[in-house]
Amino acid sequence: MPRRNPWPHRIANFLTVSRILLVPPFVFSLLREGGPGTYTRALVVYMVLSDLLDGPIARRGDGKNLIGQFLDPLGDKLMVGLGYLVLSLKFHLIPLWLTALVLGRFLILRGLWGLVFWASGMDLRSFLGLGNILTRPNWLGKLAADTQMGLFLVVIFPFPELLRTAGTYIVAAFTGASGISYLLLSAKAIRDTGILVTPEVRSRALGRVLHRASSVLADRIWKAEQRLVR
């Protein structure tokens, strides 16, 4: 049996963790420089490069990198979310309504994720191993994250004002659409997997309520799809 090589996952996780640890220095530098300055931009360059590299490096390893699967999107959301917050409240470079939309979507979806994970009674490795919309973003979610990062970079670096204005509405459209899509697809995943009606659930009452609500929503989606097909 060939030996597994753990180093790609270790290197990828190091890059991810280092990006998360640099979020507080990034915020401090942004505030101290009175806006996007040299040190802030240098930190952002490293954080973006580490984000681009950790995925390809992890894929060179054997099996799934479940730790990276959990930490990588968290690191992105911390960097972009806190960046949006400071750039909106302190420097007024991003509209406050857009920051509220981005952070609101994140809090709602992560809250749902945490609630379903806790109620399921599953351990983190098994839950992440489900491999459905509850644990892996779809193409629309990835597109929303990419546009959010793109606007963040347009604001941090000296790009034309026109790009910032156009990017604002592009981010709003994809963020809203992906949030609705995630909620609808999550309802279907909860119904189909039945993870909230197993004997291992921590709260049977909560599990039944969430499963029933998800089933009703998923059935309505199916009926709507059938009407569109006809």
Comparing 126 with 47, the larger pLDDT belongs to 47
Q: Report residue 138 as tokens.
A: 């779809």
DSSP count for the chain of H helices, then E strands: 9, 0
Task: Please tell me the predicted confidence (pLDDT) of residue 205.
Answer: 87
Q: Among the residues of 121-203, which ranges form H helices? A: 124-128, 139-156, 161-193
Is there a contact between 50 and 19 (Cβ–Cβ < 8 Å)?
A: yes
Q: Where are the domains of the chain?
A: 1-93, 94-230
How far apart (Å, rounded) are the C-alpha atoms in residues 227 and 222? 9
**Per-residue DSSP letter, 2:** P
Mean pLDDT of 116-136: 81
Task: Please tell me the predicted confidence (pLDDT) of residue 2.
Answer: 52
pLDDT for 203 beyond 50: yes
| CA nearest neighbour of 177 among 202, 149, 201, 148 | 148
pTM score, two decimals?
0.87
Task: Please tell me the predicted confidence (pLDDT) of residue 225.
Answer: 66
Is there a contact between 98 and 167 (Cβ–Cβ < 8 Å)?
A: no
Comparing 220 with 133, the larger pLDDT belongs to 220
Mean pLDDT of the chain: 88
Reported as a pLDDT band with limits 50, 70 and 90, residue 162 is very high
Provide DSSP, 25-55: HHHHHHHHTTSS-HHHHHHHHHHHHHHHHHH
Reported as a pLDDT band with limits 50, 70 and 90, residue 1 is very low
Minimum mean pLDDT range among 48-62, 150-164, 167-181, 211-225: 211-225
pLDDT, tens digit (0-9, with 9 covering 90-100), for 28-82: 999 999 999 999 999 999 999 999 998 889 888 877 777 888 888 888 889 999 9
How far apart (Å, rounded) are the C-alpha atoms in residues 171 and 22? 24
